[in-house]
Chain A
Amino acid sequence: MLLLLRRLGFYAIALLIAIAVNFFVPRLAPGDPASALVAKLGTGADQASLESLRTAYGLTDDPLGVQFLQYLGNLATGDFGLSISRFPSPVTEVISGSLGWTVLLGSVALIIAYLLGSTLGIVAAWYRGSWFDRTVPPVLIFIGSFPYFFLALLLVYVFAVGLGWFPIGQAYSMPPEWSWEFVGDVLWHMTLPVTTVVLVTAGTWTLNMRNAMMSVTSEDYLALAEAKGLSVRAVVFRHGARNALLPSVTLLGGMIGAVVGGQVMVEIVFSYPGVGMILMNAVSAHDYPLIQTLFLIITVTVLAANFIVDIVYVLLDPRTREVTA
């Protein structure tokens, strides 16, 4: 328990630092939201409109320190403010409309990558030295070393622009409704983005699982299980893989962070309407309230994932519970 409390303290400090960074860094970039917008509108913008916009957006010339304290106060009361690039929509509304897409894409990709990657890792470890073990993990690691955006662009170029099998981007192309047709439309649009994330991350799972399995396969209880006459599947999965799972739980925490980061690029390439897309638009429009809240969500997600992993780890492995301060 003490371990968990210590971790919790660490996460609280990390969160505070993240909030401060999220606040100050976007404001250090040149330009401000009103002038960015006026220039983008181009036609029909004049000085009077610029002043009106500044008033509407609540842009003040107060010192940044004062603004930061105000921001902290608003955060404490759960007030995230109004988006500037999609004025006057509240930031929470803009994000809630896109968070679902990101969670959908991220969780589907993570689950598929985990199942696929780990399965391949188990197989590679069990048949170590076989042609499978010598080719699949290295190839996956090679593919995984490409940046997300590169693989995404490659897939778009080949399967969307070239072959035309999949759409160039976005999450759907018909008005949303509860029907199988719409579900199919969504799955069809999801294929390339999910494949990108799976391709990049599967190799890490494979390698991780393979290494964990390697150490387990030399254990006596596996020999016993096999000697009992259990099927290979039972030996590998029920007796071997279960004991090799611990390291991949640790990895899960890190992978969620990596996927959240990488998915931003994937969403931008595929114009997928998730938080990554919104984040890019927010940054280019100097939409401070939106940028801050998005980074806050990303930070909290990554920290929470790691904390949950810490808890799960304690539950799964009795040895960690014995660690004393």
Chain B
Amino acid sequence: MTKTQRSGLARRSLAGVLALSAAVAMTTACAPAGGSEGKSATTALSLVAEPPGGMTRTFNPFSPTARWAAKSAMYEPLMIANPATGKDEPWLATDATWDAAGTALTVTLRDDVTWSDGEPFTASDVAFTFQLMIDNEGLVGPADEVLARLTSVEATDDSTVVLTFGEPFAPARDAVLAQFIVPEHTWSDVADPTTFPDENPVATGPYTVIENFSAQMYTLGRNPNYWQKLEVPALSLRSYSGNDQISAEVAAGNIDWGGLVPDPDKTFVPRDPEHNHYWWPQTRSVSLQVNTTKGALGDAGVRRALSMAVDRERIIDQAVWGKSDPANATALPEGGFSTWLDADVVDEYSDAVTLDVDAAAALLDDLGYAEDSDGVRHAPDGTALEYSIVIPTGWSDWITAAQVVAQDLTAVGVKVELQTIAYDSWADEVYNGEFDMTLYGMPSSPNPYSFYLGAMSQETLAPIGTQSVVNAHRFADPEATQLLQDYTAITDPDAQVAAMAGIEARFAELLPLIPLYNAPDFGLYTTTRFDGFPNEDDPYAPLSLQLPQKSLLVFPHLRTV
């Protein structure tokens, strides 16, 4: 082979081989472009409610990892506590009344409800559901916390159920009414309700027909037998890949309801001011949670001083784009708890949650926590007031809030350092009581009782090293415990409110948790296809899709544009 031959061949076939390689590459690059919308996107209401990462077909409402729709579009509760109005909305039940002794709760049911398969809904379904939860310990539902107190559940006729308790326990009413009901005629055949996937649910709710299901998306059709009028024909739910994809889909106008976009006034509304709306009502508060077993943090005076040293407005500006209000000393936001909140208590303790750095410093001085030359305060026994505040990695609003807290407290001589740690480690440390400070998000609840029970009752106190979700700060006060105990025996609504005022005052005085700001319930919607969503002008229900069951209040109001 000569040199010229070789190079001549080289040029020709090199080009040929390159073309071949390019062709191979093209098979990956040149796939036809598909549409980015589902087929039914024009008629189905698309919601952002499912978590990212793919879905399995489980609609068992007793499993916390079941599909969102199980508790929010399929199975319905007896009543729905409406945080937007502060009322219990009659749902499958029209009425629930305690007897004079406060031990028997009589629940009256609607008589016009049928299951999605056409069978009538009756009191025996309700009794069956509670009995099922008693018999199967692994079932998770709102009624969990009162099952141990329940002595009997009895359907006295087709539309009446009587629940009997061993002793008066008024908070049981909320837990019982929030319980979703499953049909006896299908669930009685289920061998193990705990591991039952419930792939084709029979329920009373608005959207029970699974039209299609895959790991990334599913479509639900209307329940033909629903007891209310529904105009929206179908719901479309997707497991989005993450916030980036949600933002892109929101921007493209493919989402009708839900999703979080940062700073909506700048990034969302201006895209289509006529149709793009958001509403962030405040129904829960975020508090600074300090481990009360750690020296000075166990001192109510110190906690009050810390509370006065924090600039709440700055937290709100930086963490939630200024779209919220500072929390009051009871930690109860007016939005969710208007019936319970005592204005006098709020007034009396307003100083405790108002920024006053000088007063905070003076209070710490008076309590004997003197500052050394480095600007760090020390307890009378010599220990320095140095703490870390731990927040899970990536929880950006909490991290921002904790930064402000750390700066403000350090400024008054209580040295606080922010640490972000992996979520699992955070949960482990905080729930076992092995932390100094963190933030605490109040659970969504119709009644402040369970919040205060977790905040300061002997009943929820567990030793360090034992997991406690609600009382991780390890605080119990005998007087508060007694007030909460007394409250449980009261069944008259007005007397309940009066008793709760005393509990609120005790909380504001002791500050077992230091209330910071009200957390907005993020919600947004677009009215290009559907209308009738709750908003500031018509606050008939919460807009957030993250509160289970609440969307049931919204579906009957929605209209096709």
Give A residues with C-beta under 8 Å from B: 29-31, 35-39, 41-53, 55-57, 82-89, 93-94, 97-98, 108, 112, 115-116, 119-120, 122-123, 126-127, 130, 132, 161, 167-176, 181-182, 184-191, 194-195, 198, 223, 226-227, 232-233, 270-271, 273, 277-278, 280-281, 284, 286
Q: Give min CB distance, B37 to chain A, whole Å.
A: 7
Q: Give min CB distance, B82 to chain A, whole Å.
A: 15
Q: Give min CB distance, B410 to chain A, whole Å.
A: 28
Q: Give min CB distance, A126 to chain B, whole Å.
A: 8
Determine whether the beta carbon of A89 is less than 8 Å from that of B54. Answer: no
Give B residues with C-beta under 8 Å from A: 1, 9-10, 13-14, 16-18, 20-21, 24-25, 27-29, 31-40, 52-58, 60, 63-65, 137-140, 142, 144-145, 147-148, 194-197, 212, 214-217, 219, 240-242, 244-245, 248, 284, 423-425, 427-429, 431, 441, 443-445, 450, 460, 467-470, 546-548
- Among B9, B139, B142, B212, the residue within 8 A (CB) of A232 is B9
Also in contact, A232 and B13, with CB within 8 A (given A42-B441, A56-B139, A173-B35): yes
- Which A residues touch B148, using CB under 8 A? 48
Q: Give min CB distance, B104 to chain A, whole Å.
A: 22
Determine whether the beta carbon of B444 is less than 8 Å from that of A50. Answer: no
How far is B217's CA from A190's CA once the two chains are assembled, in angstroms?
18
A sample of 20 more A-B contacts (CB under 8 A), given A175-B214, A184-B32, is A43-B444, A46-B469, A47-B145, A47-B469, A49-B64, A50-B467, A51-B137, A88-B195, A89-B197, A119-B17, A130-B14, A132-B14, A174-B35, A174-B37, A175-B39, A188-B33, A195-B28, A223-B1, A273-B216, A277-B54
Q: Give min CB distance, A282 to chain B, whole Å.
A: 10
How far is B33's CA from A82's CA once the two chains are assembled, in angstroms?
38
- Which B residues touch A84, using CB under 8 A? 65
Determine whether the beta carbon of B9 is less than 8 Å from that of A98. Answer: no
* Interface Cβ pair total, 8 Å cutoff: 226
- Which B residues touch A115, using CB under 8 A? 24
Q: Give min CB distance, A305 to chain B, whole Å.
A: 23
How far is B53's CA from A280's CA once the two chains are assembled, in angstroms?
9
- Which B residues touch A122, using CB under 8 A? 17
- Among A83, A171, A278, the residue within 8 A (CB) of B216 is A171
Determine whether the beta carbon of B445 is less than 8 Å from that of A173. Answer: no
Determine whether the beta carbon of B469 is less than 8 Å from that of A45. Answer: yes
Chain B: which residue is nearest A285 at the CB level? B65
- Among A46, A52, A85, A181, the residue within 8 A (CB) of B139 is A52
Determine whether the beta carbon of A161 is less than 8 Å from that of B244. Answer: yes
Determine whether the beta carbon of B63 is less than 8 Å from that of A88. Answer: yes
How far is B248's CA from A85's CA once the two chains are assembled, in angstroms?
27
- Which B residues touch A52, using CB under 8 A? 137-140, 144
How far is B216's CA from A80's CA once the two chains are assembled, in angstroms?
24
How far is B34's CA from A190's CA once the two chains are assembled, in angstroms?
12
